[in-house]
Amino acid sequence: MFAAYAARIDKEQPLAGLELGERPEPRVPPGWTTVAVKAASLNHHDLWSLRGVGLGEESLPMILGCDAAGVDDDGNEVVVHSVIGQTGHGVGPREPRSILTERYQGTFAERVAVPQWNVLPKPRGLSFEEAACLPTAWLTAYRMLFTNAGVRPGDSVLVQGAGGGVATAALVLGAAAGLRVFATSRDAAKRQRALDLGAEAAVEPGERLPHRMDAVLETVGAATWSHSVKSLRPGGTLVISGATSGPNPPAAELNRIFFLELKVVGSTMGTKEELAGLLNFCAAKGVRPVIDSVLPLDRAREGFAKMADGELFGKIVLTV
């Protein structure tokens, strides 16, 4: 079957290790099923995998891709939850949690094998392309907002780095849920897009906000960390799920964190139950993922290059 896969690890030039071509059909252990992939979306995790983060040479070649929507063996339209081993279903209770492409072949292929437990019904109102955007970036944003930030309708939330997959998802979901959403971006066009999607204000990173925030969602890391901490009200919550600009900020702002009793919460992916909630929320409220572009799988390299350059707003989707 045709697939996009990591053939080599290259920390400096990750796209040098990306190959497109034939790979073996997926192995289907007991308790697993095969999904014929209709659409899959790119995540920064795929670039990090090509750099060797979470993926070792011993696991190559590895089909990339965490997210997918498609058709299962019984002809049902489904969405794949990409966290394997969360509760032991299909792998045994002692296997540590991982996501597709870390231990098991991913979704950038004609077919992917996953535990039957990891398959959820696709809502009829969502296209395959839209549904394929949800299981990683949008699920991460959903958990950050509604599980870990502790916000309620009317609360103010700052989303750093509008344009990225998680940040854009958080902006759209937050606005749909009645939050006052503020966003940052270095790019004027992206700030305007954030306003169009429901942000109350969009400013440059580091710019002073109209008032302190109840929560800040952080995926950028070192470049925006100080601004995130300084933007919170006393007792506010900073939720972090990534550090694309680096994990070690020049100033940790520890004095401000303890004096104002700020909460710093790590957040990783989400549960199957949260993904079901996200699917229901999108279907009920008419929320649709923001898609930057749709490409056929054989043009995956273009999508990877666009994501690596940061020239996108929303998700890049690959269709099979």
Q: What is the pLDDT of residues 216-262, one digit of tens each?
A: 999 988 889 999 999 999 999 999 998 878 888 888 899 999 999 99
What is the widest separation between alpha-carbon atoms in the chain? 57
C-alpha distances out from residue 67 to 108, 230, 234, Å: 9, 34, 37
Domains of the chain: 2-133+289-319 (3.90.180.10), 136-266 (3.40.50.720)
Q: Please say whether the dihedral angle defined by the alpha carbons of residues 6, 10, 12 and 18, taken in this order, is positive or negative.
A: negative
Please give the pLDDT value at position 312. Answer: 84
Query: In this predicted structure, what is the pLDDT of residue 129?
Result: 98
So what's the pLDDT on residue 248?
Answer: 87
Say what the pLDDT of residue 236 is: 97
Confidence of residue 7 (pLDDT cuts 50, 70, 90): very high
Distance CA 287, CA 277 (A): 13
pLDDT per position as a tens digit, 67-124:
999 999 999 999 999 999 877 788 888 888 899 999 999 999 999 999 999 999 999 9
Peptide bond into 250 cis (omega under 30): no
To which residue do tokens 């919550």 refer? 237
Q: What is the pLDDT of residue 225?
A: 93
Q: What is the residue-averaged pLDDT of the chain?
A: 94
Instruction: Please give the pLDDT value at position 184.
Output: 96
How wide is the angle at C-alpha 235 spanned by C-alphas 230 and 239, nearest 5°?
A: 65
Q: Are 40 and 299 in contact (CB under 8 A)?
A: no
Mean pLDDT, residues 33-39 taken together: 98
Q: Which residues contact 207 (CB under 8 A, 6 or more apart)?
A: 184
Handedness of CA 65, 66, 69, 73 (dihedral sign): positive
